[in-house]
Homo-oligomer: A and B are copies of this chain.
């Protein structure tokens, strides 16, 4: 939001933002080539101003007990210095890159492609579009966010903004800490059950819209029963990123927030735990 009297100007600027955002994100024509083809500059060219008043934390606290795909614990801390003995506290971590609220880089699902440090900083500060499928997911734990869900969002909020992140709000976010067993949804046969994003929806976004990231409040971009991880395989090798285990998506508006992806800049990483902050 903006101070009184400038909202009209911001809206007018935003209406022209299709082209300028493309410039801002430096991705005109670059999407197909992926991040690796882009210049990594600390400063980017000016774009439509964005304004905010408050911050919402979209990050779960990462603990050894946080649920994961790959068996717990996904992080272990080992004390290396103790204040009483050494005058300061310090620890080492042993960490699986894809633990807690984290980012998947293109290289996670490709033989070659951008790793974490290749993702330009300006593509980590993006418009956030939240697609609410909580009612449908409540009726079907394996729900797949569909192209129809995206079209319904656009009918209310206008075309998905250039360079945005599309986030699925399934209602699963609170289960990560309140009911981890249901969050993972493992049945007697070992199959997982939680919502995800349909491969067809990901393909449509790639072809028809200018979207840099997908985000889910569940363990995976693909829904629980998936064995071929088709949404991952479509999305990441196209030079896009994904966010998993996102928190508090019920605390942000469907449109208008800016997402900041606080991605530690670790060379050759295929993903990393992140701090996600929504600026509203």
Which of A's residues lie within 8 Å of B, judged by CB? 1-6, 9-10, 12-13, 24, 42-63, 70, 75, 77, 80, 83-84, 87-98, 100-101, 107-111, 117, 121-122, 124-125, 229, 232, 247-248, 251, 260-275, 277, 279
Contacts and interface: CB of A to CB of B under 8 A. Distances in A.
A142 B53 CA distance: 40
Nearest to A110: B83
Given A45-B54, A90-B96, A94-B95, 5 more contacts: A49-B53, A63-B267, A77-B266, A90-B270, A125-B277
A126 to B, nearest CB: 10
Contact of A88 (B5, B12, B108): B108
Which of A98, A251, A262 gathers most chain B CB within 10 Å?
A: A262
B90 A108 contact: yes
A247 B83 CA distance: 29
B62 A265 contact: yes
A90 B262 contact: no
Contacts of A43: 54, 56, 251
A109 B86 CA distance: 10
A251 B44 CA distance: 11
B46 A53 contact: yes
Given A5-B9, A53-B46, A267-B63, A90 B98 contact: yes
A53 B62 contact: no
B91 A93 contact: no
7 contacts: A42-B57, A43-B251, A59-B265, A60-B265, A83-B109, A88-B229, A266-B273
Given A88-B109, A97-B93, A46 B50 contact: no
A165 B81 CA distance: 27
Contacts of A42: 56-58, 247-248, 251
A62 B266 contact: yes
